[in-house]
């Protein structure tokens, strides 16, 4: 069974780490810590070496994942915003919060990809009237290259050169490989971001090296690939029929499903039917968290 063409995509460092553990691969140079805050499971994956970064296909840095769990997003909005704002302050010490540029990545006309622009719409921007020394928030939603004809990183770099922020918060919708994490997981990272990488559409990175200031990436997975859903469904079917399917590893199951899928489905990403309501709720929460973390 050939698996060389099979690659389930995810933006979550937590899921990459889980995948490597399932395959029995060594994780030297990676530190994982967990804590429970106000009912939220918080996992930090720290990629400490370039070798580990290469194995995981991620940039060296810290990736913090907050999992909401069973409650609906709306039920825990206030508590969640408070927790996110606390970690924003940890990643951005006071001197970096003086003037923060928030970049809402994505296409506002495509709901699963509209998280970044919709958060920008709800932000408490104050740079245009705040006094010197006061924590400032400015924001842009640069659109996607198909709309502007300009690489997103080029647009952001131009704004950075003109406005000279002390830090950037880059917002983006992400891809997951676990359906349960859709619209229920937040990832924060101090490693910057490569827009579209989770769905195989790599663009130039927005990070400290390219922008000249620290970049915090903040995102939520809104899509999952069809192979994952088909594989999970096959597993439940085999269990229900009491057919031996467990001799295959999770990776082998997904590879088998990938080979059986129609070619058009292999590149398909899916999103929940209530994505419109979810993205609105998530945008409200993250906008509130950023304002709390930077200004309050």
**Are 116 and 253 in the same domain?**
no
First-to-last alpha carbon distance for the chain, in angstroms, is: 56
pLDDT of amino acid 131: 64
Q: In whole angstroms, what separates CA 100 from the centre of its chain?
A: 19
Which has more confidence, 191 or 239?
191
**Are 164 and 255 in the same domain?**
no
Q: Using CA atoms, how far apart are residues 285 and 279, in angstroms rounded to an integer?
A: 10
Q: Is residue 57 part of a domain?
A: yes
Average pLDDT for residues 221-244, to the nearest whole number?
A: 69
**Are 127 and 233 in the same domain?**
no
Q: Is residue 8 part of a domain?
A: no
Q: Is residue 31 part of a domain?
A: yes
Q: Is residue 4 part of a domain?
A: no
| Contact status, residue 211 vs residue 157, Cβ threshold 8 Å | yes
For 171, 207, 260, the CA distances from 192, given in Å and listed in that order, are 10, 4, 36
Q: Nearest 5 degrees, angle CA 123-CA 127-CA 131?
A: 130
Q: Nearest 5 degrees, angle CA 113-CA 213-CA 149?
A: 40
**Are 211 and 97 in the same domain?**
yes
CB atoms within 10 A of CB 42: 18
| Domain that residue 257 falls in | 228-264
pLDDT at residue 284 is higher than 70: yes
pLDDT of amino acid 136: 93
Q: Is residue 7 part of a domain?
A: no
**Are 173 and 235 in the same domain?**
no
Q: Is residue 193 part of a domain?
A: yes
Q: Is residue 246 part of a domain?
A: yes
Q: Which residue has the tokens 């009912």?
A: 39
Q: Is residue 238 part of a domain?
A: yes
**Are 112 and 236 in the same domain?**
no
Structural domain total, the chain = 2
Q: Using CA atoms, how far apart are residues 27 and 172, in angstroms rounded to an integer?
A: 27
Q: Rounded mean pLDDT of the chain?
A: 85
| Contact status, residue 11 vs residue 24, Cβ threshold 8 Å | no
**Are 192 and 108 in the same domain?**
yes
pLDDT tier for residue 293 given thresholds of 50, 70 and 90: very high
SS (H, E, C) 13-26: HHHHHHHHHHCCCC
pTM for this one?
A: 0.86
CATH number, domain containing residue 104? 3.40.50.1450
Least confident of 8-22, 183-197, 238-252, 282-296: 238-252
**Are 176 and 250 in the same domain?**
no
**Are 83 and 139 in the same domain?**
yes
Residue-wise pLDDT tens digits, 162-219? 999 999 999 999 999 888 899 999 999 999 997 655 445 556 889 999 999 999 999 9
Which has more confidence, 132 or 98?
98
**Are 175 and 42 in the same domain?**
yes
Q: Where are the alpha helices (DSSP H) in the chain?
A: 13-22, 50-56, 77-91, 115-122, 145-148, 152-163, 208-211, 226-240, 250-260, 263-266, 275-294
| Contact status, residue 179 vs residue 229, Cβ threshold 8 Å | yes
**Are 216 and 255 in the same domain?**
no
**Are 167 and 258 in the same domain?**
no
């Amino acid at each position: 069974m050939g698996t060389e063409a099979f690659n389930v995509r995810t933006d979550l460092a937590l899921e990459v780490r889980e995948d490597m553990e399932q395959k029995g691969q060594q994780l030297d140079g990676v530190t994982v810590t967990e804590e429970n805050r106000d009912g939220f499971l918080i996992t930090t994956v720290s990629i400490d070496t370039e070798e580990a970064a290469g194995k995981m296909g991620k940039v060296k840095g810290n990736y913090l994942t907050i999992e909401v769990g069973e409650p609906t997003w709306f039920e825990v909005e206030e508590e969640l915003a408070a927790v996110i704002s606390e970690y924003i302050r940890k990643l951005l010490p006071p001197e970096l919060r003086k003037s923060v540029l928030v970049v809402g990545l994505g296409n506002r006309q495509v709901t699963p990809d509209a998280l970044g622009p919709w958060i920008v719409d709800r932000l408490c921007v104050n740079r245009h009237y705040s006094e010197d020394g006061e924590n400032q928030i400015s924001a842009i939603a640069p659109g996607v290259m198909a709309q502007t004809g300009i690489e997103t990183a080029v647009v952001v770099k131009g704004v950075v050169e003109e406005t000279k922020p002390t830090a950037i918060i880059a917002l983006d919708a992400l891809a997951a490989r676990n359906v349960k994490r859709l619209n229920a997981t937040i990832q924060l990272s101090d490693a910057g971001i490569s827009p579209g990488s989770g769905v195989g559409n790599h663009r130039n990175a927005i990070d400290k090296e390219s922008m000249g200031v620290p970049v915090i990436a903040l995102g939520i997975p809104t899509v999952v690939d069809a192979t994952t859903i088909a594989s999970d469904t096959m597993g439940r079917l085999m269990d229900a029929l009491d057919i031996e399917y467990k001799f295959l590893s999770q990776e082998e199951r997904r590879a088998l499903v990938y080979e059986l899928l129609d070619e058009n489905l292999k590149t398909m990403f899916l999103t929940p039917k209530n994505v419109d309501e979810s993205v609105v709720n998530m945008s409200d929460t993250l906008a509130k968290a950023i304002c709390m973390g930077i200004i309050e």
